[in-house]
Amino acid sequence: MLKLYTIKKSLALLLLNLVLAIVACALVLPFSWMLLTSLKRLEEVGLNDWLPEIAQWDNYRSVFTLKGIQFSRWYWNSIFVAAWVTFLQVFTSSLAAFSFARLKWRGRDTIFLMYLATMMLPGLVMIIPNFQNMIRLHLVNSYAGLILPAAFSAFGTFLMRQFMMNIPQSLDEAAEIDGATKWQLYWNVIMPLARPALVTLSIFSFMGNYNSMFWPLVMMKDPHKYTLPIGMLAFESAQGQQTNLLMAAVAMSVIPMIIVFVCMQKHLVKGIMLGGVKG
């Protein structure tokens, strides 16, 4: 009986691994097509053959020298904006979460629920009021106009609060007995313990803002200040449709996201699991 159970368990595990392998191949397939297309001549792009006749590594260099394309500048703009938004989101979300999770004040839970309710609003609904605010502040077509509206995150606050709720309250009492201020409690005690949640939020924030297209498309008028998602559109209009160069540009554009994920992945799962526990 035990042997039969072991055989069934092994077959189930084998079937699960087979399904996961098929899903992995399906996910890798578009990425493989992108890389192979980036190495083709333009005439080969429409052909059924996946492999290029001769790998055109010069396509990657051509992305930087193509007339009308400021790829290096757009690359820097995307990293610059995403890095600043990530820093500000992590800082503001952790401060708000510390107040909601560790401090006691009248109306705290009610205000938190109201703040959390803003997550139900679609992002497109906020485009017009945010754009009007940027006009009043004279921040249209500026990096600050891209960064400031995204510097506050209800999701980030929720994630950080749920994580901080699981940190023992006895640490607060011990720190206060030692004479620590609220800022010292936040910076020296809570923040080091909340590192997995900070890393998780950093990954989500960086990837979301690095790939953001609609808000930069509304805000930016100067091609010199475009981010990569907007700049990619120029490959379809600068000198005709150049799919092979576009794929080369996309392949290079994903490098920062891969680096961020690989460097921080060990904290990602822990941050999601502990941040999702009800406090």
pLDDT of residue 259: 85
pLDDT of residue 275: 47
pLDDT of residue 276: 46
CATH 1.10.3720.10 for domain 61-275, yes or no, is yes
pLDDT of residue 273: 55
pTM of the model: 0.83
pLDDT of residue 277: 45
Per run of 10 residues, the mean pLDDT along the chain (length 279 residues) is: 70 87 88 88 79 86 85 93 95 94 89 88 84 92 92 90 88 86 90 88 90 89 90 71 85 87 70 49
* Cβ proximity of 86 and 150 under 8 Å: no
pLDDT of residue 279: 43
What DSSP character marks residue 103?
-
pLDDT of residue 77: 94
* Cβ proximity of 182 and 172 under 8 Å: no
Q: What does the block give as tokens for 217? A: 């498309």
Q: Where are the domains of the chain?
A: 2-56, 61-275
